[in-house]
Structures are given as C-alpha cells and as structure tokens.
Amino acid sequence: MWHDSTRELDAVIDMVIRHYDVSPLGVYSPSRMQTLSRVRFVAMYCCALATEASLEEIAHALKRKDHTTVAHGIRQVEARCMKSESFRRDVSMLLERCRTAARLARELAA
C-alpha cells in the first residue's frame, strides 16, 4: 500500500529547522557547509524514524539526489550519537518531538 507521507515529512523537517534555528533555504540548498549538513542529516534521521516514508521519499522532500544520500546521513547521525552523549540526548529529545509532529500531521490529513 502506498503511503503519502509528504505532510509528515514537512512537519518533521520543519521541527528540525526550528530546533536548530537555521534557514529553510539553507537546509534545502546544495550547500555542504558543515552546520547545514549536520542539520540536514538530523532531519533525514528524524524523518526515517518518525515516519513511514521511504529513503527515496525523504531524499525528494529534502531536495537530495537519491536514497543513498539519506542512508549516508542516517549513518552519520548514528555515528555521532555513539561518540557524543550530549548530541545523542539532543537528537533523542528532538526525535520525540518529531514523532509527535508527524502523528499530528497524519491525523490532520485523515
């Protein structure tokens, strides 16, 4: 069954953008600036764990080339969580907020 997760993805991405207080234009841009890349990777991670979207759908929502970019971003966040307890706590708290945002977006769409 096909699942339209556009609203959920938008809600999660918006939550991450607001959490890190960055410009949406920067997150969606092709910029490789480290700050923007990290936020983009966290957005990919949260989208993957807070929604039922495929990696391809997440890539499309973030204007990335393909699913391999998303897989790489998820691995980067997981690796950083292993190295930094404060980053892990921050991402964990943000992920819970993203799950709530995705659930609310899903309920509003129903």
pLDDT tens digits along 27-49: 999 999 999 999 999 999 999 99
Residue 108 belongs to a domain: no
Q: What is the pLDDT of residue 17?
A: 98
Mean pLDDT over 81-87 rounds to: 98
Residue 55 belongs to a domain: yes
Q: In the structure encoding, which two tokens stand for residue 104, read together?
A: 């609310």
Residue 24 belongs to a domain: yes
Q: What is the pLDDT of residue 97?
A: 98
With cut-offs at 50, 70 and 90, classify the pLDDT of residue 7: very high
Q: In the structure encoding, which two tokens stand for residue 6, read together?
A: 């556009």
CATH number of 40's domain: 1.10.1750.10
Residue 47 belongs to a domain: yes
Answer left, alpha or beta for residue 21, where phi above 0 means left and psi between -120 and 50 means alpha.
left
| Structural domain count of the chain | 1
CB 81 within 8 A of CB 87: yes
Residue 53 belongs to a domain: yes
pLDDT at residue 54 tops 70: yes
Q: pLDDT over 70 for what percent of the chain?
A: 96
Residue 105 belongs to a domain: no
With cut-offs at 50, 70 and 90, classify the pLDDT of residue 109: confident
pTM, 2 dp: 0.94
Which range of residues forms the domain containing residue 20? 6-100
Residue 63 belongs to a domain: yes
Q: What is the pLDDT of residue 3?
A: 56
Residue 74 belongs to a domain: yes
